[in-house]
């Protein structure tokens, strides 16, 4: 995903001391499994690793009995569950007084080594591992993609390998959780990898401001769940929340400084979380309109439409493009979110009659048959073109894509499907998939945490996500039936979304608590494609024990 340069070594251990103390105590106590007496959720064999795994466990205790009648080790208990575990006999691994984390401390895994060492209260070292050590190493030829890893426990040692640093980092998350849940790593081999490439949290800081410290705390929780995206919706009608030099007049009093954003991005780099910016346009630009009222969209009768700019005016595009150019270096990750939802000119009964100025601009730019929707689609395509010029992969909300117009939406924009709650019926997800588009799931029936529960929204529960949602459930509760269209190369993943419609409805602490189990449930469903084998009650007890 076009990762930026790694952070400095000294910054790697910041904020980890408390976690290290807690984990070390649990490891020293040798805590045993107590969550319902079952084995780890979600472990199963896979053809991709059949050459490595002669015996794979299921979510229940393994039925295979090794030679001499000795019970095989059980898979570790983690959230999300490991996908494949081959048990062997032996005592497993737990950190002892002489244990070290061994890696090339001048190499690409230095951050990962120092992070897990701080969490476990161990020393780091380069060189050859010895009995009692946890070692980290890259194996470029290993299968499964850059987020895959193999964790091997035997001979009094534990070893994590992966094709890239992201996978090795996720292996350290498994180590951390296994020690918390069971006091040791079980003897055997874990092959693990995510089911979907995009997994994360969408956070509205425009309508409800969240501090840098609050955001960073959520990122640390996300990393333990192997989530890899944080999307920041920082511009809306109620506020614009990041410092700007090109347009300081639009910035709200409460905002993140660029220095704070750089720290958030740097933490994300260490935790393998890409921070995705979103400047929503051409709707949801109320903060810009307050400083530039001449850009306000009005119909033929002079009625204004909240948050929507008059896209027939070149100045509207100029401001958004200037902001995109300003912020692109601040967010060095792969993606840029263009927004594009709920442009109110298209919610009226007859947009052509209501907005003759937009119609005239559409015809002038795209020909005599062009309509308002074509001008809106052209706006989306123009911003997507700029995003690519800035080195970004563009994303946009599904209700910014229109069918049947003179102008077609750019095929290379990722569709973020939330369904839409406009007056007209939103297009079904199958339409986007049949058009060959890549889709990310933000189903508002399951994955929208809307403060104050306006407009029929209710706070989603982890239980409902865990038991009845999957990446193929893009709208409502029914999955897309054609499985050839719902694989990981078509539905790229999912994010859980927090929206601040009524910002006073919950405190930041209440939001953090309210999204904890839904995020854990989402992490399970996007990492492991199978049905979760643990009951919800067992899963919640495990999540509580792990502190996720």
Please give the residue that has the higher pLDDT: either 61 or 248. 248
Rounded to 5 degrees, φ, ψ at 94 are: -145, 150
CB 101 within 8 A of CB 113: yes
Domain locations along the chain: 84-192, 198-546
**Token code pair at residue 282:** 């051409």
Asked whether the predicted pLDDT for residue 60 surpasses 90, the reply is no
Please name the residue that has the structure tokens 């019970």: 71
CA torsion sign for 136, 139, 145, 148 is negative
Q: What is the DSSP string of 112-170?
A: HHHHHHHHHT-EEE-S---TT-EEEEE-TT-SS-TT-EEEEEETTEEEEEESSHHHHHH
Residue 68 pLDDT: 44
The whole-angstrom separation of Cα 112 and Cα 118 is: 10
Asked whether the predicted pLDDT for residue 345 surpasses 90, the reply is yes
Average pLDDT score over residue span 286-310: 98
Residue 11, phi-psi category: left (phi > 0), alpha (psi -120 to 50), beta (remainder): alpha
Residue 271 pLDDT: 98
Q: What is the pLDDT of residues 94-113, one digit of tens each?
A: 999 999 999 999 999 999 99
* Residues designated as active site: 342
Select from 3.30.379.10, 3.40.710.10, 2.60.40.10, 1.20.1240.10 the CATH code of 84-192.
Answer: 3.30.379.10
Residue 248 pLDDT: 98
Asked whether the predicted pLDDT for residue 84 surpasses 60, the reply is yes
The whole-angstrom separation of Cα 101 and Cα 182 is: 20
Asked whether the predicted pLDDT for residue 32 surpasses 60, the reply is no
Please name the residue that has the structure tokens 């990722």: 414
The whole-angstrom separation of Cα 153 and Cα 164 is: 20
Asked whether the predicted pLDDT for residue 132 surpasses 80, the reply is yes
Q: Do the domains at 84-192 and 198-546 have one common CATH topology?
A: no
The CA-based angle 60-64-65, given to 5 degrees, is 125
Residue 49 pLDDT: 34
Average pLDDT score over residue span 329-337: 98
Confidence of residue 22 (pLDDT cuts 50, 70, 90): very low
The domain defined by 198-546 folds into: TIM Barrel (3.20.20)
Residue 533 pLDDT: 84
Asked whether the predicted pLDDT for residue 34 surpasses 60, the reply is no
Q: What is the pLDDT of residues 151-206, one digit of tens each?
A: 999 999 999 999 999 999 999 999 999 999 999 999 999 999 999 999 999 999 99
For residue 152, the tally of other CB atoms under 10 A from its CB is 22
Residue 183 pLDDT: 96
Q: What is the pLDDT of residues 389-419, one digit of tens each?
A: 999 999 999 999 999 999 999 999 999 999 8
Residue 138, phi-psi category: left (phi > 0), alpha (psi -120 to 50), beta (remainder): beta
Burial class (CB in 10 A: 0-12, 13-18, 19+), 423: exposed
Residue 420 pLDDT: 66
The whole-angstrom separation of Cα 417 and Cα 24 is: 42
Asked whether the predicted pLDDT for residue 72 surpasses 80, the reply is no
Q: What is the pLDDT of residues 203-242, one digit of tens each?
A: 999 999 999 999 999 999 999 999 999 999 999 999 999 9
Burial class (CB in 10 A: 0-12, 13-18, 19+), 478: exposed
- Strand, helix or coil for residue 240: strand
Residue 24 pLDDT: 41
Residue 422 pLDDT: 57
Please name the residue that has the structure tokens 């091997």: 152
Please give the residue that has the higher pLDDT: either 138 or 43. 138
For residue 403, the tally of other CB atoms under 10 A from its CB is 11
Please give the residue that has the higher pLDDT: either 101 or 51. 101
The whole-angstrom separation of Cα 256 and Cα 122 is: 35
CB 439 within 8 A of CB 433: yes
Alpha helices in 469-535 (DSSP H): 508-527
Residue 477 pLDDT: 95
Quick one: which H or E segment has residue 536? helix 536-546
E strand map for 340-467: 393-397, 414-417, 439-441, 448-450
Residue 8 pLDDT: 36
Measuring CA to CA, how many Å separate 260 from each of 213, 244, 441?
A: 9, 13, 29
Contacts of 307 (CB under 8 A, 6+ apart): 236, 237, 283, 284, 285, 286, 289, 342, 344
CB 526 within 8 A of CB 494: yes
Residue 44 pLDDT: 38
Confidence of residue 19 (pLDDT cuts 50, 70, 90): very low
What mean pLDDT is reported for the chain?
89
């Amino acid at each position: 995903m076009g990762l930026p340069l790694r952070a400095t070594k000294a910054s790697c251990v910041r904020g980890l001391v408390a976690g290290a103390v807690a984990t070390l105590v649990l490891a020293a106590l040798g805590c045993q499994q107590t969550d319902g007496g079952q084995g780890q959720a979600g472990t199963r064999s896979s053809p991709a690793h059949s050459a490595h795994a002669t015996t794979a466990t299921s979510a229940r205790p393994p039925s295979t009995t090794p030679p001499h009648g000795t019970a095989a080790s059980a898979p570790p208990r983690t959230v999300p569950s490991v996908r494949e575990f081959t048990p062997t006999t032996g005592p497993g691994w737990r950190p002892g007084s002489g244990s070290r984390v061994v890696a090339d401390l001048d190499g690409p895994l230095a951050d990962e080594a120092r992070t897990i060492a701080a969490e476990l209260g161990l020393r780091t070292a380069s060189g050859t591992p010895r009995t009692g050590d946890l070692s980290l190493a890259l194996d470029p030829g290993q299968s499964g993609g850059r987020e895959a890893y193999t964790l091997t426990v035997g001979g009094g040692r534990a070893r994590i390998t992966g094709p890239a640093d992201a996978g090795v980092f996720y292996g350290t998350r498994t180590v951390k959780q296994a020690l918390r849940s069971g006091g040791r790593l079980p003897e055997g081999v874990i092959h693990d990898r995510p089911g979907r490439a995009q997994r994360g949290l969408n956070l509205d800081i425009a309508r409800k401001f969240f501090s840098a410290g609050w955001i960073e705390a959520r990122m640390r929780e996300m990393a333990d769940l192997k989530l890899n995206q944080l999307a920041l919706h920082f511009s809306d009608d109620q506020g614009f929340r990041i410092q700007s030099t090109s347009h300081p007049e639009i910035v709200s009093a409460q905002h993140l400084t660029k220095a704070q954003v750089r720290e958030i991005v740097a933490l994300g780099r260490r935790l393998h979380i890409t921070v995705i910016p979103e400047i929503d346009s051409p709707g949801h630009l109320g903060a810009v309109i307050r400083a530039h009222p001449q850009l306000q969209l009005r119909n033929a009768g002079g009625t204004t439409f909240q948050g929507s700019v008059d896209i027939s005016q070149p100045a509207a595009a100029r401001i958004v493009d200037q902001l995109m150019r300003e912020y692109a270096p601040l967010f060095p990750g792969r993606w840029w979110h263009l927004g594009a939802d709920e442009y109110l000119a298209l919610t009226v009964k007859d947009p052509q009659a209501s907005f003759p100025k937009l119609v005239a601009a559409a015809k002038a730019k795209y020909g005599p048959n062009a309509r308002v929707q074509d001008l809106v689609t052209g706006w989306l395509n123009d911003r997507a073109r700029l995003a690519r010029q800035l080195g970004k992969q563009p994303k946009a909300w599904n209700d910014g894509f229109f069918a049947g117009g003179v102008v077609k939406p750019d095929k290379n924009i990722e569709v973020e499907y939330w369904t839409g709650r406009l007056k007209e019926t939103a297009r079904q997800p199958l339409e986007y998939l049949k058009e060959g588009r890549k889709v990310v799931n933000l189903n508002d029936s399951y994955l929208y945490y809307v403060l104050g529960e306006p407009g029929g929204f209710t706070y989603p529960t982890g239980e409902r996500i865990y038991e009845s949602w999957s990446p193929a459930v893009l709208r409502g509760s029914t999955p897309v039936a054609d499985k050839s269209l719902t694989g990981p190369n078509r539905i790229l993943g999912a994010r859980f979304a927090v929206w601040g419609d009524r910002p006073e409805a919950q405190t930041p602490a209440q939001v953090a608590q309210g999204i904890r189990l839904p995020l854990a449930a989402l992490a399970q469903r996007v990492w492991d494609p199978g049905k979760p084998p643990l009951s919800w009650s067992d899963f919640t007890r495990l999540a509580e024990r792990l502190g996720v």
